[in-house]
Structure 1
Amino acid sequence: MDDGDVLGRVKALVDEEHTLRGHHEPDTARLAQVEAELDRCWDLLRQRRAKEEFGRNPDEAAARSTREVENYRQ
């Protein structure tokens, strides 16, 4: 998966998030899943870009678990 693939996935998830939020009573469970998957995609993209910036192979980046990504300290 390259950066374009990850960004395509992000776009699809953002579109779905907007659709869900547009409903009078959004499916909160699905919305939470979409938000978590977005966090994972952004994390993967940041990993890929960091590896490339420091001369490493961005394809070595790996998606982390939702639990790991959601528990990062900001």
Structure 2
Amino acid sequence: MADDIDIQQHIKGLIDEEHGLRSRLSAGEISVEEENARLRSLEVELDQCWDLLRQRRAKREFGEDPAEAAVRDERTVENYRG
């Protein structure tokens, strides 16, 4: 992901996919299990994207290169909640 705009567009795509999953479940096209499995994956990816945006903004704010920000692993971003 090259810049903030790309990350934001990716986030929008993930949110659109989430809405699509809910619609497909309502239409009976997928099972609850299929929806839940993909939703879990989407949540992790969304958390990683939001974390990356926060890192980039913090680096920019403190005069560092935002390109040095990196996607953190699932364990790291998911443990922020606890």
TM-score normalised according to structure 1 size: 0.91
Q: What is the identity percentage for the equivalent residue pairs of Structure 1 and Structure 2? A: 58
Larger Rg: 2
Question: Superposition pairs for residues 1-74 of structure 1, below 5 Å?
Answer: 1-22=2-23, 23-24=25-26, 25-26=31-32, 27-73=35-81
Matched residue SS, 2:71: coil
Q: Determine the C-alpha separation between the residues in 1 that align with 2:21 and 2:47.
A: 17
Quote the Cα distance in structure 1 between the aligned partners of 2:53 and 2:46.
11
Unaligned stretches of 5+ residues in structure 2: none
Could you list the structure 1 runs, at least 4 aligned residues long, displaced by more than 6 angstroms after superposition.
none
C-alpha separation in 2, matches of 1:20 and 1:66? 22
Alpha-carbon distance in 1 for matches of 2:68, 2:80: 21
- Give distance in 2, aligned partners of 1:21 and 1:41: 21
* Residues in 2 aligned to 1:69 and 1:59: alpha-carbon distance in whole angstroms: 19
CA RMSD between the two structures? 1.3
Quote the offset at 1:73 in angstroms.
Answer: 4.4
Gaps of 5+ in 1: none
* Number of positions where the alignment pairs a residue of Structure 1 with one of Structure 2: 74
Paired with 2:77 and 2:62, the residues of 1 have a C-alpha distance of 22
